[in-house]
Amino acid sequence: MRKNREQLLELRQLRYFITLAEELHFARAAERLNMEQSPLSRAIRDMERTLGVRLFERNTRSTRITRAGAALLAYARRAITLLEQAGASAKSAALGDGHQLRIAVSDCTAYSQMLEVLARFRMGRPNLSVTLHEMPPHLQISAIRDDLLDASIALDGTYREGIAAQSVGADAIYAVVPALHSLANANIALSSDLSQHPLILFNAESDLGGGPVLDDFVETLARPKIAYRANSLGTLLTLVALGHGIGLVGSAQVKGVRRKDVVLRPIVGAAPSLTTYVLHSDRRVCEVVQDFIAFVRSQQAECGSTCGPS
């Protein structure tokens, strides 16, 4: 029987491919991999022959990843991540460790408040082993379904087959304004003010914008203009600092941010709140996840549902 080409790829080849895709330079990639350049080149050629596509365009001056290579890269990274998590779970099970929490976030910077809560949760349970994974939302969902994650922290609780979403807190929406902007002189930002300036939102795929919540709010403004969509909190803050527009974020996302080139202003008006969810399998939920959800809710109740940035 003829085997599928995709089934012939080896883990070793995927690691080589990912490293070269990150370096885009055979010599540097080989150095990172602690190997000679010629076997690396041979391994990449074997991959291309197996798949029947060109993964890189290379000449004497540069190496560039192709469209096919870029498509493979996301799956290769996912495969490596899932295998590493599978290995960690197997080792934990072999040691008889039933007290573990495998949890994921999309952007650690944006979830600083939740990570503080997670740290407090762990401190009260000295026998608990916590493994934190940073990965895109679609990989989180797949990993939960495959029982490679126990839960994830997300701002998007929309329905996904096989996934339950438990709300654990809500945060006010803040405007991020350049320090020298006219809006920086007021202690608040009005919804009507936002209509007069270009806006910077998060890319929907980043999970940082709370799904459709912010987009729906922006649609209520008079003639809104979205200038940029950022994939990370750091990018959004930098775009604001450079004067490209006003950013919209949840207060928990910017808790602890210390920058002199931007200021944070609560929005007064019809702005909704951003809800934080813990996602887990709707077929099974372990006791430690249930305890974590209860703990987060209790912490939010003590703080108040609209704790602003400090």
pLDDT digits (tens, 9 = 90+) for 175-209: 999 999 988 888 888 888 888 899 999 887 776 77
pLDDT at residue 304 is higher than 70: no
pLDDT at position 289, please? 92
What pLDDT does 290 receive?
92
Residue 306: the pLDDT is 46
Tokens coding 33: 């991999």
* Amino acid type, 127: N
In order of start, what are the domains of the chain with their CATH numbers? 5-75 (1.10.10.10), 97-167+275-303 (3.40.190.10), 171-274 (3.40.190.10)
- Is pLDDT of 40 > 70? yes
* pLDDT value of position 13: 92
CB 239 within 8 A of CB 178: no
Strands 189-190 and 262-268: parallel
Mean pLDDT (whole number) for 268-272: 78
Average pLDDT estimate for 290-302: 86
Interval 8-33: pLDDT, tens: 688 899 999 999 999 999 999 999 99
pLDDT > 60? residue 308? no
Q: What is the pLDDT of residue 1?
A: 41
How many Cα atoms are found within 13 Å in the side-chain-facing hemisphere of 12?
A: 6
Is-contact 51 113, C-beta < 8 A?
Answer: no
| Nearest C-alpha neighbor of 118 from the set 168, 173, 82, 157 | 168
CA distance linking residue 220 with residue 270, whole number of Å: 9
For residue range 215-248, what is the model confidence (pLDDT) as tens digits? 888 888 878 889 999 888 888 999 999 999 999 9
pLDDT at 34: 93
117-166 pLDDT, tens digit per residue, is: 888 898 888 888 888 888 878 888 988 998 888 999 988 888 899 999 99
Confidence of residue 114 (pLDDT cuts 50, 70, 90): confident
Higher pLDDT, 222 or 34: 34
**3-state percent helix, strand, coil for the chain, nearest multiple of 5:** 45, 25, 30
pLDDT-derived band at 305, boundaries 50, 70, 90: very low
**CA-to-CA distance for 297 and 128, rounded, in angstroms?**
19
Q: What is the mean pLDDT of residues 40-58?
A: 93
Q: What is the pLDDT of residue 161?
A: 92
**What's residue 150's pLDDT?**
92
**Is 50 exceeded by the pLDDT of residue 2?**
no
- The Cα 132–Cα 149 span in angstroms is 10
pLDDT value of residue 54: 94
